[in-house]
Amino acid sequence: MTNLYIPNSETWVYEINNSIVGFISMMDNEIGGLFVLPNSHSKGIGTKLVDFIKKYYSELEVEVFKKNSVGRAFYDKYGFERIKKYMHEESGNEVLRLKVIC
């Protein structure tokens, strides 16, 4: 993570009272990571992070495990649509690749 992922992505954080409660990491037009602390879910933070970065792209893509109901619900609500489905061999989980036009 420290040596490969972080140097190859751009990351923005969301702070409340000088404490980081969420972040979004981008690799080109792909959301490599979007995380919000559980006690800050459903407060619009994830939406604000995606709204912030989408002005820089004509479309966004993301991959999410099919069993990740929280992540899938967020991306569905935001308007992402499935463009591909495949099996993540290392974990044995189904992955959904999603896209939204900005």
Domains of the chain are 6-101 (3.40.630.30)
Q: What is the mean pLDDT of the chain?
A: 93
For the cut 90, the answer to whether the pLDDT of residue 5 exceeds it is no
d(CA 63, CA 45) in angstroms, rounded, equals: 19
User: Average pLDDT, stretch 20-30?
Assistant: 95
pLDDT band for position 2 (cuts 50, 70, 90)? low
pTM greater than the 0.85 cutoff: yes
d(CA 21, CA 44) in angstroms, rounded, equals: 12
What are the structure tokens assigned to 5, written together?
Answer: 């992922």
What are the structure tokens assigned to 42, written together?
Answer: 């459903």
